Amino acid sequence: MKKRGRLTAVLLSGAMLCGIGTGCTSGSAQTYTWSNVAIGGGGYVTGMEYNPKEEGLVYARTDIGGLYRRKKDTDWVPLTDFLGADEWGYIGIESMATDPVEPNRVYFAGGTYMSDDAALFASDDYGETWTRFDAPFSCGGNQSGRGCGERMCVNPNDNKEVWFGSRDSGLWKTSDYGKNWEEVTSFPVKGNYKQESNSIGILWVTFDPASTDMYVGAAMTDGTCIYKSTDGGESWTALAANEPGMYPLHASFSADGKLYLAYSDNCGPNLSPTAGAVCVYDTKADSFTDITPDLGDGRQGGFGGISVDAQNPDAVVVSTLGWWSDNGDNLYYTTDGGKTWSGLFNLNTKENNYQMDTSRAAWLDWDRGENQAKTGWWVADVNINPFNSDEVMYGTGATIYSTENMTKIGTEPVTIAFDAYGLEETAVFKMLAPPSKDNSPQLYSIMGDLTGFAHEDVTKCPDDAHFMKNGKPTDLDVAFQNPNTAVYLSEEKTTTINFTTDGGATWETVKHKPDPATGGQVAMSADGRSTIWVPNSVSGKPYVTTDLGETWYYVEGLGFNAKIAADRVNPKVFYATCDGLFYVSKDGGVTFESTGQMVADAAEPVTVFGQEGNVWISSSTMIMYTEDGGESFQTVKTLPTVDSIGFGKGKKDNSYPVIYAEGDDGENGYGIYKSEDKGKTWLRINDDQHKFGNLNPKYITGDSNVYGRVYFCTDGRGIVMGDIAS
């Protein structure tokens, strides 16, 4: 019997009431367009696939940020924003497949962790709408071996068939363009290698273009890793075993029927391979040949991706995986089927055959000097453009790069350029957009892995000078009357507290802390002269400095784990919530006194720019606000579920700021809301096709300078930016 999954296909449309890229609510007078604050990737791009029939069509998958598409001469476009909080796990993309017969068809397997649900998705309109099949097996889009593949493949001889190799439940197949799937029980193995306790399973599926034969790679510890079928999957033959403990992570066929393979002694990327090989299998002779590059270049690690040129069956590119050299991972290129190779660099001879072009995302230089970025790390997949032999695209742990002249390697430097514009995958913690003054940044942000940025222009990737780099951040604040002055905290002992007075061009780390703890919360006065730090410690004792961290004083009047905020107008005033009460400081944060007003224990104060004494408090089921510095509060009951609130420029210069919120009004579902009348009425501005995956941590803010603009955090989709459609 063939094992079937749950046949519950659901139509998921990317174009509903307001159309692609807009958000609306019934009766809405405004529509929104959605984009990202430009960073330039920021996360792991685990795979890319060119369509062999339609020039310029290429897809990219990420480990926590969803699937992207790019067409000729355009930027990357996200395709999985229809997945929201209840389905965010599907945005970890295990594998994908573009149809070589009908380029409008595309597929992906979604499932971030093997402990969560997985699903197989199919589209016949380039990913604008999707049909979902709920899988009875697991995926691991953000786990060991996530750069292997592709595990999914369309049969070029009968494109109704799509095949998918799972991690723990063998080989699967659809014969109706992805509507229904069933297990191929004739396939003899499921893969028995585990890494970091995760099953790796089937590594890839591919077809011989010179015949109708099919090949599947599986992670088998005894080396019997490659299987062949000549009868459409009814029966299988194991090819000769490779060395036990070596795994063919990627495979690529040449037009004349030779299968090129990249091997490593583990499946990466969390564990770096220590050895690897490159082999070619001659299907006619039924023989393997070792063609591992041996250039005496100090190579370490294994091999990740491999790709054969569609225009030249003897031209092949392969990437290293786990080579933590000062240059990064290497690419090797051959035009004679692997008899001779050229590398991008040679550490032993100090020879470089490449030059980096990160001009569109200069932070990628990472303090190495202008356009001297590393070639990248965790390079698990490489792809030669089937229409342009000079273009080799590859993903890294931070972005996508493409070569511009790969065929000239050895005769001129290979230019490697940033190629991820439109693809954003950062996990964001917080951002602030203070009023512009003295050429101050448009936005400050903090996030995982990259620490954060001062964004001079939110539509352009940051430069290296405004890249924070140091530490895992926990909080951020800006002096709203002096916005070139800001502070951020990190969990690192050596970079816990960091100040800038030049708009993030330089940051000075506090050398002598008043407490050995790290992280925590921070609030900076409107003029930047006073800063309160509540460290992440068992005592929770807050401190205040009036000289950017040179000297510190105990803050009097606050108890354990107080939540703090600075008035955005009066530099002497701070606010706090603690033990269910509201507190005010009128001496720059030195002392606090309770106003006697009760608030929810978990409530956090949010202050309003341009409005002295205005503080809003939200605590999941309630919004309160004061306009007199906490002497009295009003309650807003029109948004019964609220996770975060923030403020942006009003429609007129003298109007009250627009309020933005993540929540649910009880009628229009969970989403992004705005109010232009102090919370009397709310308008949902996103729609159900633009949920943006995992909206964690819950943080939202408007733009102090641009009416209608909103920013909010995601865990893997970067800083989402919404603007009123023109």
Which tens digit of pLDDT belongs to each residue from 484-527? 999 999 999 999 999 999 999 999 999 999 999 999 999 999 99
Pairing of strands 354-357, 414-418: parallel
Say if residues 61 and 78 touch (Cβ distance below 8 Å). no
Catalytic positions, written as ranges: 63, 449
Q: What are the phi and psi torsion angles at 87 (to 5°)?
A: -135, 20
Give whole-number Cα distances, 286 to 176, 220, 282, in Å.
Answer: 33, 20, 6
Q: Report the chain's mean pLDDT, rounded to a whole number.
A: 94
Compute the average pLDDT of residues 253-273: 97
Distance CA 625, CA 615 (A): 6
Higher pLDDT, 26 or 359: 359
pLDDT at 134 over 50: yes
The least confident of 13-27, 197-211, 374-388 is 13-27
pLDDT reading at 15 higher than 50: no
Whether residue 20 has pLDDT greater than 60? no
The model carries a pTM of 0.95
> For residue 644, is pLDDT > 70?
yes
Report CA 223 to chain centroid distance, whole Å.
34
pLDDT for 175: 98
Lowest-pLDDT range of 72-76, 189-193, 391-395, 495-499: 72-76
Q: Which DSSP symbol is given to 591?
A: B
pLDDT digits (tens, 9 = 90+) for 288-333: 999 999 999 999 999 999 999 999 999 999 999 999 999 999 999 9
3-state secondary structure of 86: helix
Encode pLDDT of 78-87 as tens digits: 999 999 999 9
Q: Kindly state the average pLDDT of the residues 129-156.
A: 97
What is the reported pLDDT for 371? 85
Maximum distance among all alpha carbons in the chain?
Answer: 87
State how beta strands 683-684 and 202-207 pair. unpaired
Q: Which residues contact 157 (CB under 8 A, 6 or more apart)?
A: 207, 212
* Alpha carbon distance 594, 577 (integer Å): 9
First vs last C-alpha separation in the chain: 57
When pLDDT is cut at 50, 70 and 90, the band that residue 455 belongs to is very high
Structure confidence at residue 29 (pLDDT): 58
pLDDT of residue 622: 84
pLDDT, residue 19, reads 31
Q: In what order do the strands lie in the sheet with 67-70?
A: 45-50, 58-62, 67-70, 77-78
CA pair distance 276, 264, nearest whole angstrom: 4
- Please compute the mean of the pLDDT values over residues 713-724 and round it to a whole number: 97
Least confident of 15-24, 126-135, 219-228: 15-24
**% of the chain residues with pLDDT over 90:** 92
Structure confidence by residue, pLDDT tens digits, 577-634: 999 999 999 999 999 999 999 998 778 999 999 999 999 998 888 899 999 999 999 9
